[in-house]
Amino acid sequence: MAKRGAAALLVLLMCSLPFASASADTTLVTHDEERLVVQGNAGATWSTTLNLDATQRGLFVVACGSCEASVEDAAGTALASGVGGLDLTHRPEVAGTLTLQVTFVVEESATVLLLASTMTEVPNRPAPGEDVISTVLAPSGAGDAWWTGTDHVRLNGGWQGAATAVVNVSADSTAYVLAETEEPAWVDVLVQHASSEIDLRLILQNNTVEVTHASLTLTQDDLPFSHRMFLDADQRAMMLIEGTAPNTGAAVAMASHPTSGAMDEVAGEDSERVVGHGGQIKVYDVNDTDALRVTPALGTEFRAEHLVQGTWVATSNATSTQPRTVWALPGAVALRLTCISPTCSADVALTEASDLRSGEDAQGYVDLSDELLRQGGSAGYLPLNGSANGHLVRATLDVADVFPFQIDAWEDSIHLVKVTVWTSEPVMLELIPIDPITGTVDEDERKHEVVSGQGESLSAQFGRGAHLVRISLVNPDEVLNGTWGSDLATLNYTLEMAHGVVDEGDEPWFEPDEASQIWGARVRWILGFCFLIPVAYLARMQRRRTLLANTLRAQRERLRQIVARLDEGRPVAQERRDLHLALDAVATLDFEDACLSWGQPDLQHRTDELAFAAWRLDRRLAQHGAHVLLVGLAAGPRTWEATALRFDAPIGAACEVKAVEPRFMHHGEDVFLDTIRAGTVVFLTVELDGANTLVDLEVNGLVDAKPRAARASAPLELVSTEEA
């Protein structure tokens, strides 16, 4: 058979597109499938054009109440006109543009149909296998225009991907139009217009035989009329169109659709609309608790199949034309809907009924040997304080759910657990305590009762560990004696858990393991050595200080030696550092020995509670002040607290303490020594600044919480006679 390419069909289709223009008085132009609805005011004019070549026949149809319609060719010659409507079928002798003009006498709406034939008529009826011109129908694709009514599904008459035949027939003149497809396909035949009654015969031909598929008599009241038939790859469809009246104009559209692939889908808020052709499918990923709620349109038939272990399985009630819920079989990972009828349209909603929102269905029986159940089961643990939702799906023969809950507590503790049920009908509720030692059911505390589901509760005492709650239908046999996938109602329920402690039990003690004991001993030895490091350091420092103190005890007039070394050019910083080190060492000596090691004091004072002495140091040792002094204090048999050393100027301006070593707090003319314990010795260097050359040394503090003070009887001269 000869086949025309899809490119030629597209060119003819583009030539058939009407182009419209309107006056300013036209109010509105809308589309109603293949027709235009023009709303015009009185006196308004609306026009449109249609391009035709010499091989095409055009159809011009106008339906209105009192409008004036006319058709002109490119030269302006009127081909036809009419008042109150127009129906013209015309084939031009040469290619050109025809213009349809509508003038509104009163305000009204006019329905306009313009079509150009894209299919070629053959002059005589061809025999099977005869080589004649045949239109190759291009298959529709996903998203192409469809019209879904309340009664059926068919091609939208305004879809521009369809092939169109415009014929002029009568009782003595028959039109023959042939169409074929490259692959097996569903073919829609849509009769869009007939000016009077027509007879339509649909014949299927192959290379050897022909079969009459349908013989139809159609009036204008039957239009638009849609018919679908299956066309194999080695067949062609022939339309025989006859009229019952002279010059009967008719327009028929044909379109092909694939018999495989995926159906189209249009997403909605709570569901989606699927539209497809016979043989097409739609696949959904599911698990054991998922279901599809399918609501097919009239005339739609689906088959539901389940993918289980790599094989598509159908149940006994797989096909349906009525609304139904398709529950996934156990172990299914996908559901497939296959369109069985020639066309299919349905609303599909994916729903699920998992327990505890886990995506799984809870186990329905009690098996204490099942470790998985006691470790949370397929749906997980019930919250010890809180609520959880579940479902008993009668359609999947789900008549009971068993949930574990865990109590983490001490040994021999006792807990009170209350379970409250909310549901739409009475159910059987069981509380199953498990002995944590034996792993068996504690029958003395086990409780079961039929509860109304309106907030009624059941309580029991439990020990530590995992325990079970079981909820089931009151009459499960009614469901178990039925069939899988029935439309029985699903029972939704809510469990509320409340927990209280009756007895806390005994706090556990755990023997450390061998590894912990070994590493514990090692860590203790390591930490012990680490703690001894500061002790060793302090012992070494104390030994060095003792050696230095013994050395200083053997020396006399150390201050004179310092001056001599400075005179010899020894660095002042080095001498100052040695002096500061000696302060701490000398403090370990007896006060008298310490004073002798420094040399004769420039000032000395002694009482029963306190003794102190002062020495002038070489000014070269000063770093922050004008004068530097060495002061030693020795507490008597009692401790001095809140002790302060004051350098009071008897005449003139006061002196200011600039630096103290060791670093005691100081302010103005005071140095704050804090506590001097009984029998201890303190030596410090003090740098003073000021113009005064005399200072009185005064010590203030608390002895046994009583104020005490000691003041030298004579002032200390800050400048020696030699320096003066």
CB neighbourhood size of 568 (10 A): 7
Tell me, what's the pLDDT at 147? 80
Strand partners, 294: 324, 348
Question: CB count, 10 Å around CB of 122?
Answer: 15
Helix ranges (H only) for 396-452 are none
Q: In this structure, what token pair is assigned to residue 714? A: 């004579």
pLDDT value, residue 309: 94
Distance, CA of 218 to chain centre: 58
Q: Are 62 and 35 in contact (CB under 8 A)?
A: no
Q: What is the mean pLDDT of residues 52-61?
A: 93
* Mean of all residue pLDDT scores within the chain: 87
Per mean pLDDT, which of 10-14, 306-310, 462-466 is the most reliable?
A: 306-310
Average of per-residue pLDDT across 204-233: 94
CA distances from 495 to 382, 429, 611 (A): 9, 10, 86
Q: Which segment of 421-430, 561-570, 694-703 scores lowest on mean pLDDT?
A: 561-570
Q: At residue 456, does pLDDT exceed 70?
A: yes
Q: What confidence score (pLDDT) does residue 457 get?
A: 93
Confidence category of residue 590, pLDDT binned at 50, 70, 90:
confident
Range scoring the smallest mean pLDDT among 121-135, 158-172, 527-541, 655-669: 527-541
CA angle 118, 255, 212 (to 5 degrees): 100
User: What radius of gyration, in Å, describes the C-alpha atoms of the chain?
Assistant: 56
Residue 721 has what pLDDT?
60
Average pLDDT over residues 473-499: 90
Is the pLDDT score of 70 beyond 60? yes
Structure confidence at residue 58 as a pLDDT band (50, 70, 90): very high
Query: How many CA atoms are closer than 13 Å to the CA of 208, on its beta-carbon side?
Result: 0
Helix, strand, coil % (nearest 5) of the chain?
15, 50, 35
Segment 629-645 shows an average pLDDT of: 92
Asked whether the predicted pLDDT for residue 377 surpasses 50, the reply is: yes
- Which pLDDT tens digit goes with each residue over 59-69? 999 999 999 99
Question: Residue 70: exposed, middle, or buried by beta-carbon count in 10 A (0-12, 13-18, 19+)?
Answer: buried
DSSP code of residue 119: S
Q: What are the φ/ψ torsions at residue 230 (nearest 5 degrees)?
A: -95, 135
For residue 612, what is the DSSP state? E
User: How many Å apart are CA 236 and CA 213, to the nearest integer?
Assistant: 12
Q: Amino acid letter at 375?
A: Q
Name the β-bridge partners of 258.
Answer: 185
Do residues 623 and 572 make contact, with C-beta atoms less than 8 angstroms apart? no
Range of weakest confidence among 114-118, 565-569, 703-707: 565-569
- Is pLDDT at 188 greater than 50 in this prediction? yes
Average pLDDT of span 640-650? 91
Q: State residue 564 phi and psi, 5-degree precision.
A: -65, -40
150 or 179, greater pLDDT? 179
**pLDDT score for 529:** 85
pLDDT at residue 274 above 50?
Answer: yes
Is 133 exposed, middle or buried (CB count within 10 Å of its CB: 0-12, 13-18, 19+)? middle
State yes or no: pLDDT of 551 exceeds 70.
no
- Region 184-205: mean pLDDT is 95
pLDDT band at 21 (very low <50, low <70, confident <90, very high): very low
Q: Is the separation of the CB atoms in 194 and 220 below 8 Å?
A: yes
Torsional sign, CA 105, 107, 108, 111: positive
pLDDT band (50, 70, 90) for residue 296: very high
Q: What is the DSSP letter of 77?
A: -
C-alpha 114 chain-centroid distance? 53
Mean pLDDT, range 318-345, rounded to an integer: 92
**Sign, Cα dihedral of 618, 623, 625, 626:** positive
- Is residue 131 exposed (0-12), middle (13-18) or buried (19+ Cβ within 10 Å)? exposed
Closest CA to 99 of 27, 20, 39: 20
Enter the tokens of residue 34.
Answer: 């293949």
The predicted model gives 498-521 an average pLDDT of 82
pLDDT of residue 373: 82
Residue 334 pLDDT: 95
pLDDT tops 60 at residue 95:
yes
- Provide mean pLDDT across the span 579-598: 80
* CA–CA distance, 427 with 366 (Å, rounded to integer): 17
Name the burial class of residue 275, with classes exposed (0-12), middle (13-18) and buried (19+) by CB atoms within 10 angstroms of its CB: buried
Averaged pLDDT for residues 98-108? 94
pTM above 0.75, yes or no: no
